[in-house]
């Protein structure tokens, strides 16, 4: 009789283990390849050199050809960032010419100016600062022929109201003439809506994702910099991101891209042997196959960054996502 409490405790832990495994490991879903979910509307972040320096028509035509055959329809061209002195870095002298030539070579390509906002010193509470950002973005779109703005404010803690305010002001200023896109933070898949301030510095609540999505045309999720040490963990982490973010954004009307990394930079938050194109794409496909995900809410994947993506990585992308070649 004395052993019964231990028996009940054992059965209780066993039940918890079974429920946890069902929720997070043995999940219902399909087994489609990546090509089943690919819509041919993918994205890529490309470097500032295209905006800052002149390029030959042959080089731009080659870029357009590569983007088109890899089914990339959106490019985020690094254009500038807001400096501490309140001015934008002048790194876009050749942007208008680049956009003009790229559009001629690939008419269906959607080209956006990637604008950095380092929020360590950019104070979005200040109305004059927000007005300066809005004026610059509108001017870039009008003078260079860009299709819109890809905003990259970092870091953005969850529930940051001033980012929402800036998005509203940008959306109104750009109007129907320009697309508004944002590079978004990851979500905390098991984070309830309670007050978790430490987690909120690094991840967003689902409800904040919805608030952002209602104010933009596109969201590109930065799923990398997870600090995970192994590829299988990162793959599973991306899977959870796809499930939870697709559910959060569903019904808002915003296009949704999941960023997958090719960066070789080694930091405490990014280990290339763990976070890479293969593990990232595999996680996206796993997530889209999960019964809890909302694949219809996902537009495509986004490669970061173009300047570090080599031919072997493009081969992996084409195999796992486009269904071309041997994975």
Distance CA 111, CA 77 (A): 7
pTM of the model: 0.90
Give me the number of domains the chain comprises.
1
Q: Which CATH number covers residue 278?
A: 3.20.20.80
pLDDT reported for residue 85? 96
Whether 228 maps to a domain, the answer reads yes
> What pLDDT was estimated at residue 22?
46
CA atoms lying within 13 Å on the CB side of residue 253: 7
Tell me which residue range forms the domain holding 267.
33-322
What pLDDT score does 79 carry? 98
Tokens (6 digits) for 48: 């500032």
| C-alpha–C-alpha distance, residues 66 and 306, integer Å | 11
Burial 222-233 (b: 16+ CB within 10 A, else e): bbbbbebeebee
In a domain, 16, yes or no: no
Residue 6 lies in a domain: no
pLDDT at position 110 is: 98
- Taking a C-beta distance cutoff of 8 angstroms, is the pair 321, 283 a contact? no
Q: Does residue 69 sit within a domain?
A: yes
Q: What is the pLDDT along the chain (327 residues), one digit of tens a residue?
A: 344 555 555 555 554 454 445 445 556 889 999 999 999 999 999 999 999 999 999 999 999 999 999 999 999 999 999 999 999 999 999 999 999 999 999 999 999 999 999 999 999 999 999 999 999 999 999 999 999 999 999 999 989 999 999 999 999 999 887 999 999 988 766 555 544 555 556 689 899 999 999 999 999 999 999 889 999 999 999 999 999 999 999 999 999 999 999 999 999 999 999 999 999 999 999 999 999 999 999 999 999 999 999 999 999 999 999 999 877
- Tokens of residue 306, six digits: 């173009």
- Considering the domain boundaries, does residue 268 fall inside one? yes
| Closest C-alpha among 232, 266, 259 to residue 150 | 259
Residue keyed to tokens 């031919």: 311
């Amino acid at each position: 009789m004395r052993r019964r409490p231990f028996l009940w405790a054992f059965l209780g832990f066993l039940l918890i283990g079974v429920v946890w495994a069902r929720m997070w490991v043995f999940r219902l879903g399909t087994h489609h390849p990546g090509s089943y979910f690919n819509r041919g509307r993918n994205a890529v972040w490309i470097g500032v050199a295209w905006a800052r320096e002149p390029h030959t028509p042959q080089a731009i035509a080659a870029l357009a050809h590569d983007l088109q055959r890899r089914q990339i329809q959106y490019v985020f061209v690094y254009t500038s960032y807001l400096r501490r002195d309140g001015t934008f870095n002048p790194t876009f002298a050749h942007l208008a010419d680049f956009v003009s030539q790229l559009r001629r070579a690939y008419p269906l390509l959607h080209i956006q100016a990637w604008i950095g906002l380092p929020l360590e010193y950019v104070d979005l509470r200040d109305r004059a600062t927000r007005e300066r950002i809005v004026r610059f973005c509108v001017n870039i779109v009008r003078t260079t022929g860009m299709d819109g703005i890809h905003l990259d404010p970092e870091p953005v803690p969850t529930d940051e109201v001033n980012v929402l305010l800036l998005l509203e002001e940008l959306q109104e200023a750009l109007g129907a003439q320009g697309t508004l896109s944002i590079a978004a933070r990851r979500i905390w898949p098991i984070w309830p809506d309670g007050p978790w301030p430490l987690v909120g510095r690094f991840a967003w609540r689902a409800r904040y994702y919805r608030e952002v999505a209602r104010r933009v045309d596109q969201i590109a999720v930065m799923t990398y910099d997870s600090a995970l040490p192994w590829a299988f963990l990162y793959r599973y982490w991306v899977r959870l991101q796809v499930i939870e973010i697709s559910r959060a954004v569903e019904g808002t009307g915003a296009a949704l891209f999941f960023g997958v990394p090719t960066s070789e930079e080694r930091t405490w938050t990014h280990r290339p042997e763990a976070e890479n194109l293969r593990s990232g794409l595999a996680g996206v496909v796993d997530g889209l196959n999960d019964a809890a995900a909302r694949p219809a809410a996902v537009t495509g994947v986004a490669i970061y960054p173009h300047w570090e993506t080599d031919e072997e990585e493009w081969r992996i992308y084409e195999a796992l996502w486009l269904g071309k070649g041997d994975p």
